[in-house]
Homo-oligomer: A and B are copies of this chain.
Amino acid sequence: METNAAVLALSALAQTSRLAVFRALVQAGPAGLAAGRIAEVTGIPPSSLSFHLKELTHAVLAHARQDGRFVIYTAQFDTMDALLGFLTENCCGGNPCASVCAPVCPPSKEPT
């Protein structure tokens, strides 16, 4: 991931409403959520939500697909992945931050 894309993704997440939306999408997993459902869950009014969804989509952190009358949004996990990679590589270079990974990996137990 290049710097511009990283700044774009960071900007998209650096906003309370959008972070909440993105987290909801992550929780929903690959199935995603309809825009209206996101509005319900987050309490953001439709026009504001639409604005934020466009922002997330533009940053390639979310993806929209039409499903009948609904528009289903899903998290773009690979972009998030790339962002984490960028931050780890460029903002932790050879330094303590790597410790984030340690607790995650041990394969001894099942995460559901």
Contact = CB atoms under 8 A, between A and B. Distances in A.
A93 B98 CA distance: 19
Interface in A2-36: 3, 6-7, 10-11, 13-16, 19, 22-23, 26-27, 29
Interface residues of A, number: 44
Contacts of A87: 13, 80, 83-84, 87
- Tally of this chain's copies: 2
Contact of A15 (B7, B22, B94, B99): B7
Interface of A is mostly: helix
Interface of A: 3, 6-7, 10-11, 13-16, 19, 22-23, 26-27, 29, 75, 77-78, 80-81, 83-85, 87-88, 90-102, 104-107, 111-112
